[in-house]
């Protein structure tokens, strides 16, 4: 049962239960100052390398370095360009070479200070350098705090698709300082909120109802925001503990992503469509496809779209800047991009669809012709 958030008296700790590789997600305000003490307790004597991007570095690199220095932990900085462009072969090579140059060894730590791009890139480099160095996630976006920093998926993009090169490499600690979210642009925060709403839509109807009533307070900050982040992290932690390598239940976390990743690829992984915005459009498409297949009522699909639109997220393909003008509004082109999705099995697309709000299911038997016809109809709608 969903309860109203209480005023937090200290950080919330969510455990990701993976046996001897279990780790904590620590959630709360002004936690960066404690990072040095947490790292020292976790890995006494370790050296660190901080991977971050230029935008995050301007706000948070100095406080992180100061926290580490206060605990007598040596650190090296590796600063990359912001955006999906850094999640490339060239970006991966650069980070690996700089980690090696910094003499980061197997008993040292990589610290990923940034959003999803930095976490994916730094985590993959940590997985590869010296065949595996431990890393700590310090997520600085809402999307990273509730989704990409948790669960050990790391990787880079191929020109042929999103996140097609990577590894499962769990962090040893996640420190989600909610104060850093105050520096996000409204658009970045909204994009992250799509992943928060996703947890309600896929597995917690009461949480989705709570978000419908309390989303303004989540955006405003304070206890409601921390409650939403902690609820999202608990949901993801539970799924990851059951299915670390996505052989079953974990696929449910991809609600909206099969469509969303294709839309991101169609727009060149550019700032025209943030990942969370693609997921928002993808979730609405998944809900509407579920209704088209008779799995849920059209009113339920409309409810998902209405909530995402209420917070200012795109909910239709034509909401994407320049989408139609560039000739990308093509059902066959989108189907070709979806065919490269990681969830394709022996050429068959996998969709996460809804039996109800709060009850997502994995569907491996949706005929491609049905999906193509559905997309064509959506693209034709004005």
Q: How long a stretch of residues is the chain?
A: 382
DSSP H helical segments within 71-115, as ranges? 89-101
Span 97-155, pLDDT tens digits: 999 999 999 999 999 999 999 999 999 999 999 999 999 999 999 999 999 999 999 99
Q: CA 35, CA 328: separation in Å to the nearest integer?
A: 45
What domains appear along the chain, each with residue ranges and CATH number? 12-182 (3.40.50.1970), 186-380 (1.20.1090.10)
Sequence-separated (6 or more) residues with CB below 8 Å from residue 281: 256, 259, 260, 263, 314, 315, 316, 317, 319, 320
Interstrand relation of 173-177 and 23-28 (parallel, antiparallel or unpaired): parallel
The answer to which of 77-81, 242-246, 295-299, 311-315 has the lowest mean pLDDT is 242-246
Q: CA 10, CA 8: separation in Å to the nearest integer?
A: 6
* 104, 116, 323 from 149: Cα distances, Å: 21, 7, 30
Q: Which two tokens stand for residue 97?
A: 């070479």
Helix 257-266 with 331-338: angle, nearest 10 deg: 110
- Ranked by mean pLDDT, the top range of 169-173, 264-268, 335-339, 361-365 is 169-173
Number of H helices, E strands in the chain: 14, 11
Q: Which residues are catalytic?
A: 131, 153, 195, 236, 246, 250, 254, 257, 261, 275
- Residue 348 — pLDDT band, cuts 50, 70, 90? confident
- In terms of Cβ atoms closer than 10 Å to its own Cβ (0-12, 13-18, 19+), residue 95 is buried
Contact 7, 22 (CB under 8 A): no
269-278 average pLDDT score: 91
Q: CA 283, CA 277: separation in Å to the nearest integer?
A: 10
Report percent pLDDT > 90 for the chain.
81
User: Model-level pTM?
Assistant: 0.92
Span 183-233, pLDDT tens digits: 999 999 999 999 999 999 999 999 999 999 999 999 998 899 999 999 999
pLDDT of the residue at 253: 95
Q: CA 122, CA 324: separation in Å to the nearest integer?
A: 35
- Give CA 301 to chain center in angstroms: 23
The sign of the CA dihedral 147, 152, 156, 159 is negative
């Amino acid at each position: 049962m969903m309860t109203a958030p209480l005023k937090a008296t200290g950080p919330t700790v969510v455990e990701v239960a993976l046996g001897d590789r279990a780790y904590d997600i620590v959630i709360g305000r002004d936690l960066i100052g404690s990072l040095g003490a947490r790292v020292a307790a976790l890995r006494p004597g370790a050296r660190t390398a901080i991977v971050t991007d230029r935008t995050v570095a301007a706000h948070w690199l100095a406080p992180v370095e100061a926290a580490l220095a206060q605990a007598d932990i040596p650190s090296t900085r590796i600063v990359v360009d912001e955006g999906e462009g850094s999640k490339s072969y060239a970006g991966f090579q650069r980070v690996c070479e700089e980690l090696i140059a910094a003499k980061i060894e197997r008993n040292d730590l990589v610290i990923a200070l940034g959003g999803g791009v930095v976490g994916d890139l730094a985590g993959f480099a940590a997985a590869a350098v010296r065949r595996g160095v431990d890393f700590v996630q310090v997520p600085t976006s809402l999307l990273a705090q509730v989704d990409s920093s948790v669960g050990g998926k790391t990787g880079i993009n191929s020109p042929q698709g999103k996140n097609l090169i990577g590894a499962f490499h769990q962090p040893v600690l996640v420190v989600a300082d909610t104060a850093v979210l105050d520096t996000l642009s409204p658009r970045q925060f909204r994009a992250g909120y799509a992943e928060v709403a996703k947890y309600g839509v896929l597995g917690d109807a009461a949480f989705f109802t709570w978000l419908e009533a309390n989303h303004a307070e989540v955006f405003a900050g304070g206890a409601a925001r921390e409650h939403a982040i902690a609820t999202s992290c608990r949901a993801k932690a539970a799924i990851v503990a059951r299915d670390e390598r996505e052989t079953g239940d974990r696929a449910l976390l991809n609600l909206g992503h099969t469509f969303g990743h294709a839309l991101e690829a169609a727009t060149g992984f550019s700032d025209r469509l943030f990942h969370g915005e693609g997921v928002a459009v993808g979730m609405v498409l998944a809900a509407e496809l579920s209704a088209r297949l008779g799995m849920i009522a059209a009113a339920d699909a409309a409810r998902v779209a209405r909530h995402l639109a209420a917070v200012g997220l795109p909910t239709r393909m034509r909401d994407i800047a320049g989408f139609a003008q560039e000739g990308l509004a093509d059902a066959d082109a989108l189907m070709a991009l979806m065919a490269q999705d990681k969830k394709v099995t022996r050429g068959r697309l996998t969709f996460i669809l809804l039996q109800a709000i709060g009850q997502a299911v994995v569907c491996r038997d949706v005929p491609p012709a049905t999906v193509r016809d559905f997309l064509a109809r959506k693209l034709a709608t004005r």
